[in-house]
């Protein structure tokens, strides 16, 4: 199930890159983690209510959907800019020493 979630999130990021969306490292990591996290949270209901034949498909679809929702939230709330500034501040602080 985890492999399907990773592949699904990877496909979602690749589609964004091909459609010329601006993707920073922090945006990619956050949306990837959100997609895999959502698939992880929902894998138990999928295993209970979905037949074994379709489980991998549904987990991948959930991961792609979660990654898209995560990217939208990161983009709208500008979380990536806050994280980039935070990491840049940490890097600058250690370079001065």
Tens digits of residue pLDDT in 69-83: 887 888 788 887 787
Residue at token pair 């010329």: 20
Q: In terms of pLDDT, which residue wins out, 83 or 4? A: 83
Residue at token pair 């990877």: 10
Q: Which two tokens stand for residue 69?
A: 């929702």
Q: What count of Cα atoms within 13 Å lies in the side-chain half-sphere of residue 80?
A: 18
Q: How far is CA 81 from CA 34, 52, 91, 97, in A?
A: 17, 41, 15, 25
Q: In terms of pLDDT, which residue wins out, 89 or 45? A: 45
Contacts 24+ apart (CB under 8 A), 13-16: 13/67, 16/71
Residue pLDDT, tens place only, 5-25: 677 767 766 666 656 667 777
Measured CA to CA, the distance from residue 33 to residue 61 in angstroms comes to: 15
């Amino acid at each position: 199930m985890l492999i399907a979630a990773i592949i699904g999130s990877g496909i979602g990021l690749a589609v964004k890159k091909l459609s010329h969306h601006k993707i920073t490292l922090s945006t990619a990591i956050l949306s990837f983690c959100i997609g895999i996290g959502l698939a992880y949270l929902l894998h138990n209901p999928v295993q209970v209510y979905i037949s074994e034949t379709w489980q991998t498909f549904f987990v991948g679809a959930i991961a792609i959907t979660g990654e898209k929702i995560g990217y939208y939230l990161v983009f709208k709330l500008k979380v990536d800019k806050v994280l980039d500034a935070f990491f840049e501040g940490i890097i600058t602080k250690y370079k001065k020493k």
